[in-house]
Amino acid sequence: MRTFFHGCPVFTGDQTLEGIGVLVEEGRVLDLLPRPPAGAVEEVALEPDSLLAPGFVDTQVNGGGGVLFNETPTAAAALAIASAHRRFGTTSLLPTFITDAAGKWRLAVDAAAEAAQVPGGGVVGIHLEGPFLNMERRGVHEAAYVRAPTDEDIAFLLGLPARFPGGRVLLTLAPEVVDDGTLARLAEAGLILAGGHSAATYARTDSALDQGLTGFTHLFNAMPPLMNREPGIAGAALSSPRGWCGIIADGVHVHGAVLRLALAAKGPDRLFLVTDAMSPTGTDVDSFELYGHTIYRRDGRLVTADGVLAGADIDMAAAVRGAVRLMGVGPETALAMAARVPATFLGLDDLGRITPGARADFVELSQALTVRRVWSAGAER
């Protein structure tokens, strides 16, 4: 059975089309048409004041729905996190496992690989944030587990892309902790490498970009500030045309003026939104546990007892609204930064778009950019 979505404008990921509907068959977009074709077609009537947009793609999700991937590294947990974020328009995500014990690291990979095989589950790989980080820029990551890579680590990582057919493995590392030869081997094996939790110099980061680094994790956070004589990793991220930057648009992690600076430097096709969400997303809890310590939910922040930020208290629909409010962009630009741009960064070109051949992942949004309905592979969730 084919399904025809119609009744409101459609944002394709690049442009907004009026008077056009979306024909879906077997979970993928078949065509964009002004009216349903002849034959047996199920029609989905959307609210006239809505906007149909591609489902969001989030590359950095630590938890949601009361579940934290580090605390429960299982396939069920990864799928529960994806389910919690789906209500906020995110139809594809990378469950993110931050620096932890080596045994849990491997359990998390096993769990994400299993979850990624569930059709419509929303898990499209894994993001390993650490443990190869700069100790002084580790943020809330547990110091006892931060380390340089061993030969065993590298051998393990080199085998990961094969475990995620059709999915992606994103590895956040500090470029000053990993040598160029290792970066090149990891990139050639198919891992996506991002710089983060780092105090790398501009020159070191530029060299890492030559060796396959392509992204930067939560730009400006857990890295030194941009300086006039030593632009550092942030300066390299902003000035290089080769890298994509993830950024948290909650008004807490990055000031609005700096968000606008990043947008001016990178342009809307190289800057994308991430949530860095933790387990409270989608719940009303006011605290949770990480590494055996309590993290408090206060005034839109997630903080340790001594005030260190521990992820973000935001969902992707709120991040889209934050981009509009703080960056001064229009809804189309903000929606692209939540869907098409991160999908392009991951090399998953059938996500984040409403075009023939793309997966039928949609979010119906109100004029206020709140979520009304969500579909994954053409099925309402």
229 annotated to a ligand binding site: yes
CB 32 within 8 A of CB 21: yes
222 annotated to a ligand binding site: yes
310 annotated to a ligand binding site: yes
Task: Indicate if 58 belongs to the active site.
Answer: no
Provide the 10 A C-beta neighbour count for residue 368.
7
127 annotated to a ligand binding site: no
255 annotated to a ligand binding site: no
**Catalytically annotated residue among 58, 206, 250, 276:** 276
2 annotated to a ligand binding site: no
311 annotated to a ligand binding site: yes
SS3 9: coil
6 annotated to a ligand binding site: no
Alpha carbon separation from 96 to 44, 62, 163, 346, 369 (Å, rounded) = 34, 5, 16, 14, 26
Facing residues of 104 across strands?
Answer: none
Write down the number of H helices and E strands in the chain. 10, 23
309 annotated to a ligand binding site: yes
CB contact set of 277 (below 8 Å; sequence gap of 6+): 58, 60, 61, 62, 63, 64, 85, 311, 312, 313, 314, 315
Q: Which structure tokens are listed for 235? A: 């300066």
Q: Which structure tokens are listed for 75? A: 């396939």
- The binding site for Zn(2+) consists of 129, 197, 218
Hey, which residues are catalytic here? 276
Annotated binding site for substrate: 140, 221-222, 229, 253, 309-311
Binding residues: 129, 140, 197, 218, 221-222, 229, 253, 309-311
